[in-house]
Amino acid sequence: MKKRTSIIFGLLFAVIVIGGLLSTFLLGRGEGTVAVISVDGEVLERIDLSKVRKPYDIDISTEYGHNTVHVEKGAISVSEADCPDKVCMYQGRLTGSGIPIICMPHRLVIEIEGGDIDA
């Protein structure tokens, strides 16, 4: 009985891990070109990445902290942040909709809108 529950839960956990990673992989490939930068739920910038000709940087400074957002054709990323964890920088370039870049300490979210969300 005891061994049985262990096996059942082991399988359940394996399904969660594989399913979670797989769906994240699929989710991150949504189409869409409009990037939305928001802090605290308020939209600060809305940029159509397909219309960007020359790469440029945007400074986002709020009461929570400072981030530099790098905008280029078809991609957006955080190039600098004064938060301690720098997770937003390590998240790299966002090229499609699905999974947003978050900087939790600064309440900054960068999403790409549109495309098929249900992947």
Contact 76, 49 (CB under 8 A): yes
Q: In a 3-state reduction of DSSP, which class is residue 46?
A: strand
Shortest Å, Cβ 22 to other proteins = 8
- Does position 13 interact with other proteins (CB under 8 A)? The reply is yes
C-alpha gyration radius of the chain: 18
DSSP 32: -
- Does position 114 interact with other proteins (CB under 8 A)? The reply is no
Shortest Å, Cβ 54 to other proteins = 27
Q: How, if at all, do strands 56-61 and 42-48 pair?
A: unpaired
The mark string for 38-57 relative to other proteins (x by CB under 8 A, - otherwise) is x-xx----------------
- Does position 23 interact with other proteins (CB under 8 A)? The reply is yes
CA-CA distance, 49 to 72, in Å (whole number)? 7
- CB nearer to other proteins: pick between 74 and 104: 104
- Contacting other proteins (CB under 8 A), which of 62, 68, 79, 91? 91
